[in-house]
Structure 1
Amino acid sequence: MSTLSERLAAMRQAQPSPAPAAPRHDTVDATTNTPSGGKRRATPAPAAVADAELRARGGRPSGDEDRLGEVRSIVHGELLNTLGPRLYEADLDQDELDQELRTILAEVLASQERPLSASDRLRVTQEIRDDIIGYGPIEPYLHDVDVSEVMVNGPDSIFVERKGRLTPVLARFADEDHLRRTIDKIVSQVGRRVDESSPMVDARLPDGSRVNAVVPPLAVDGSILTIRKFAADPYTAEDLVRFGTLSRTSRDFLEACVRGRLNVVVSGSTGAGKTTTLNVLSSFIPDDERIVTIEDAAELQLHQEHVVRLESRPSNIEGRGAVTIRDLVKNSLRMRPDRIIVGEVRDASALDMLQAMNTGHDGSICTVHSNGPRDTLSRVETMVLMAGMDLPIRAIREQVASAVDLIVHQSRFRDGSRRITHITEVERMEGEVITLQDIFVFDHSQGYDSDGRVLGRLTSTGLRPKLLDKLREYNVIVDPMIFATAG
């Protein structure tokens, strides 16, 4: 077999003489003033540094970018030849990889007619490491603490959410195959698969971040990858108070409700922060209770001593072996739980969750997608009907009114902030309607400041909830001044 030097020499001799450069017709990104057709790639974390360096290279001639791409391709290919399948092993020795990478990179660069700058050498090295060890060009953004979500809309379009606002970034995947390799790497780590027969998949990264991928033919313009990051150090109740998500008095009230074993439903739209609030509410559960958590992708991070975590499973390639949230809820009832926490109720599992709440498993908490407290009850009714039980609506509503004590509704505002807008008591049935009573509501009257940031806050309605009697049964006393209005 020929040496690397001989192969590089043969490649240079085989290349035709370069033709005169044709004028470029790439579209220009109005926000960054850089060609959108170029192969922009991310550099080492933090992501802010990566973005700055990419913008600084906005005027780089396309020939330099192509040459870097050629060097990357050669070095990556030689690593495959040298280390083979071991490159993608989970326990790959990092020192060995670094040594091989430096050796091959030095040989490749020595064969180049024009030397690479130190920054370009670092860039090539880091990009190859990100591809092999991490997740390619999105790797820096997964380590950026300011980024809460990464959205890949095809190989040439990547957006991130920073502080509640969506912004495009200049990082790019080389092509569709590069993006598909990254998706395959993510989903294979948790035993999932994605292909033409199963073109949608939910998975999670080792740190608990939630991943959703959609590939062609469902994704028309290229594979779509969405990663919702989950903080390694989860937010606490004090963090939510500091962010303005909760007020101090509403925080104290919610802690009393959880310690007093009330059944709580956290509702809101996608991305409103329901899981974060669920995690905070779960932190109020006493350490001497057995907690069973049930999720599609394990995200909750509880620090109590006695926590049992269950995760649903999709069907295999033969369409068998699926374990649903409903299956896990049913099974959890046989596990002697003090509390059942369901990451999200979205189907017929609502019926089993209501039955659990009504059969001695007080203090259970779950989340539901909805637009408001009243809509939350309608959603639960609809999901109960999905179970296929021929139940009259009144019977379902009686079950809901008996099971659910409190609804905590959360919204994401125009400025990107996430706020709890309603803390609502579920009282009782009156005729055919479930009576609701707002205890805390968000005051929108203050509007927005000059920068578009919301100025309102969560305030008490001044009404004393009836559930205080239930809290007293568990020796949880709430200061009546919590419900006093500010005026």
Structure 2
Amino acid sequence: MSTNKEIYVAFRSQIFEALDPEAIQALSQKEIETQIRSAVDVLANSFERPITAMMKSGLVKSMMDELFGLGPIQPLVEDQTITDIMINGPSDVFYERDGKIQRSEISFVNEEQVLAIAKQIAARVGRRVDELSPTVDARLEDGSRVNIVIPPIALDGTSISIRKFRDQNIGVEDLVDFGSMNIDMARVLSIASRCRMNVLISGGTGSGKTTLLNALSQYIEEDERIVTIEDAAELRLQQPNLVRLETRAASIEHTGVVSQRDLVINALRMRPDRIILGECRGPEAFEMLQAMNTGHDGSMSTLHANTPRDAISRVESMIMMANLNQPLDAIRRSIVSAVQIIVQISRLRDGTRKITSISEIVGLEGESVVMEELYRFEYQESGYGESVKGKFVTQGIMQRSELVKKAQFFGLYEELMSSFQGASL
């Protein structure tokens, strides 16, 4: 254990034992900081080794972070280059930067400190985490998503996973600059959004689905009424006529739960032009398809799947979860008539995120859903440990495409076809 940590442990136990919980509630943070600073000065004067002014300031900040922030990981939370923070017990803290997971030198004092931070996070959103309720999904004040699992469910100590909420909006142009797609793909997706195509964004965890959904939403006209539905509010739409809905977990008494399906049903009564579902993961998929099929053109959602074909299978499974006893061919017809574009986005082995496929659903042939791939990322050979190499390619677009018809209707045909020059079928 480092010297600084030894000093922190020694000072922390004495100062926190002396702090009155009622006083903490009554005093301002500035007043509490002044009291802690005075206590640190007193303890430093009687400590066996000299303590510098910089060390004392660090001790005060660490204690304030533990009382009002997230303790030792507060610097990681404040670092805008970090996207995910993962705590696997007091000694194992990891974070993700630029798509790569790294181990942090930060550690907690002990398991009790991790558990105290976890309970503090849960209490801020009116939840509790204990042996009766050992898992919690919550949202921090800045919009970051948090998942907590405590013993006995977590065998090696309290686990906290934080998916940070980015302050800045990332647009389609930014994704082109990052290499996630090329300019022609960006033009196709912007036209699909402006033409009110129904879009599903498919991908794995941390692949950038919500970021892409946010980017596409920037092409929605300001005179449209939009209802967004999310488990944790991450979408940042700028349109004026916007209603944001968020699910609610069950209370301590296991009452008051409001699911995504409840919110989708309610959204249909709110006269929306578009419904945007942050993530489709259950029986709400049925109501979402009904909305897409009944005049809410331009609706969008994300879901977890590895390919566009897998995305269709996932939607089929989610509709079956609604216990509607519909035959599979009726479900597939509903999907084909509702969903028009599937965008597949992936996080590659080098940490980069790329749109690996843009596919349009054409129709049904027998029992199979027919799709036309408008663009795909074609991998090129690269060595182990090297950056992923490849290029974006297209075989063109058919004139019978629904996207072509919509582009003609909205006066965007020439702009659309310029994205497929030399490759039209």
* TM-score normalized by the length of structure 1: 0.83
For the Cα contact (< 8 Å) 2:407–2:416, is it kept in 1?
no
1:77: which partner in 2?
Answer: 17
Amino acid at match of 1:420: I
For the Cα contact (< 8 Å) 2:395–2:423, is it kept in 1?
no
Paired with 1:405 and 1:250, the residues of 2 have a C-alpha distance of 16
What secondary structure sits across from 1:444 in the alignment?
strand
1:334: which partner in 2?
Answer: 269
The alpha-carbon deviation at position 457 of structure 1 amounts to 3.1
Paired with 2:145 and 2:76, the residues of 1 have a C-alpha distance of 15
1:145 maps to 2:85: no
Paired with 2:154 and 2:181, the residues of 1 have a C-alpha distance of 38
Could you list the per-position Cα deviations for residues 173-231 of structure 1 after superposition, in whole angstroms to 9, with x for gaps in the alignment? 11122111111221222222222222111111111111111111211111110001111
The alpha-carbon deviation at position 469 of structure 1 amounts to 0.4
1:475: which partner in 2?
Answer: 411
* Structure 2 segments unaligned to the other structure (5+ residues): none
1:127 maps to 2:62: yes
What secondary structure sits across from 1:479 in the alignment?
helix
For the Cα contact (< 8 Å) 2:187–2:416, is it kept in 1?
no
* Aligned CA distance change for structure 1 residues 406 and 361 (closer, same or farther; 3 Å): same
The alpha-carbon deviation at position 88 of structure 1 amounts to 5.7
1:195 maps to 2:195: no
For the Cα contact (< 8 Å) 2:93–2:104, is it kept in 1?
yes
Could you list the per-position Cα deviations for residues 75-109 of structure 1 after superposition, in whole angstroms to 9, with x for gaps in the alignment? 3333x13xx335368xx633212221221211222
| Number of residue-to-residue matches in the alignment | 421
Amino acid at match of 2:421: A
The alpha-carbon deviation at position 261 of structure 1 amounts to 0.5
Paired with 2:384 and 2:366, the residues of 1 have a C-alpha distance of 47
Larger mean Cα displacement after TM superposition, 301-310 or 191-200: 191-200
Following superposition, which runs of at least 4 residues in structure 1 exceed 4 angstroms of deviation? none
Which of 291, 306, 330 aligns to 2:241? It is 306
Paired with 2:416 and 2:170, the residues of 1 have a C-alpha distance of 26
Which of 338, 341, 345 aligns to 1:406? It is 341
Paired with 1:67 and 1:479, the residues of 2 have a C-alpha distance of 65
2:90: which partner in 1?
Answer: 155
1:276 maps to 2:211: yes
Larger mean Cα displacement after TM superposition, 108-117 or 449-458: 449-458
The alpha-carbon deviation at position 450 of structure 1 amounts to 8.2
The alpha-carbon deviation at position 67 of structure 1 amounts to 3.7
* Aligned CA distance change for structure 1 residues 103 and 442 (closer, same or farther; 3 Å): same
Could you list the per-position Cα deviations for residues 266-319 of structure 1 after superposition, in whole angstroms to 9, with x for gaps in the alignment? 001111111111111111111111111000011111111121110111112222
1:264: which partner in 2?
Answer: 199
Amino acid at match of 1:221: D
For the Cα contact (< 8 Å) 1:459–1:485, is it kept in 2?
no
Identity of aligned pairs, percent?
43
2:154: which partner in 1?
Answer: 219
1:484: which partner in 2?
Answer: 421
For the Cα contact (< 8 Å) 2:142–2:165, is it kept in 1?
yes
Amino acid at match of 1:125: V
1:352 maps to 2:287: yes
1:421: which partner in 2?
Answer: 356
2:24: which partner in 1?
Answer: 87
2:116: which partner in 1?
Answer: 181
Paired with 2:202 and 2:355, the residues of 1 have a C-alpha distance of 10
Amino acid at match of 2:28: D
The alpha-carbon deviation at position 462 of structure 1 amounts to 2.3
Paired with 2:195 and 2:279, the residues of 1 have a C-alpha distance of 22
Paired with 1:374 and 1:86, the residues of 2 have a C-alpha distance of 59
* Structure 1 segments unaligned to the other structure (5+ residues): 1-37, 39-59
Paired with 2:7 and 2:320, the residues of 1 have a C-alpha distance of 61
Which of 232, 239, 260 aligns to 2:167? It is 232
Q: Which has the larger radius of gyration?
A: 1
Aligned ranges 1:107-122 → 2 under 5 Å: 107-122=42-57
RMSD: 1.9
1:441 maps to 2:376: yes
The alpha-carbon deviation at position 486 of structure 1 amounts to 8.2
The alpha-carbon deviation at position 155 of structure 1 amounts to 1.2
Paired with 2:8 and 2:246, the residues of 1 have a C-alpha distance of 43
